A and B are shown apart, each in its own frame.
Chain A
Amino acid sequence: EAGVVQSPRYKIIEKKQPVAFWCNPISGHNTLYWYRQNLGQGPELLIRYENEEAVDDSQLPKDRFSAERLKGVDSTLKIQPAELGDSAVYLCATAGAPYEQYFGPGTRLTVT
Chain B
Amino acid sequence: GENVEQHPSTLSVQEGDSAVIKCTYSDSASNYFPWYKQELGKRPQLIIDIRSNVGEKKDQRIAVTLNKTAKHFSLHITETQPEDSAVYFCAATTNFNKFYFGSGTKLNVKP
Contacts and interface: CB of A to CB of B under 8 A. Distances in A.
B95 to A, nearest CB: 8
B101 A103 contact: no
Tell me whether chain B's interface is mostly helix, strand or loop, or mixed.
strand
A105 B45 CA distance: 10
Given A40-B104, A41-B103, A42-B104, A101 B96 contact: yes
B61 interface: no
A48 interface: yes
B98 A56 contact: yes
Contacts of A48: 97-98
Tell me whether chain A's interface is mostly helix, strand or loop, or mixed.
strand
B11 to A, nearest CB: 15
Interface residues of A, number: 21
Contacts of A101: 34, 46, 96, 99
A103 B96 contact: no
Interface in A65-112: 91, 95, 99-106
A41 B34 contact: no
A38 B103 CA distance: 11
A105 B104 CA distance: 18
Given A31-B96, A48-B97, A103 B43 contact: yes
A33 B99 contact: yes
B98 A105 contact: no
A54 interface: no
A42 B89 contact: yes
Interface of B: 6, 32, 34, 36, 42-46, 49, 89, 91, 96-99, 101-104
Interface of A: 31, 33, 40-45, 48, 55-56, 91, 95, 99-106
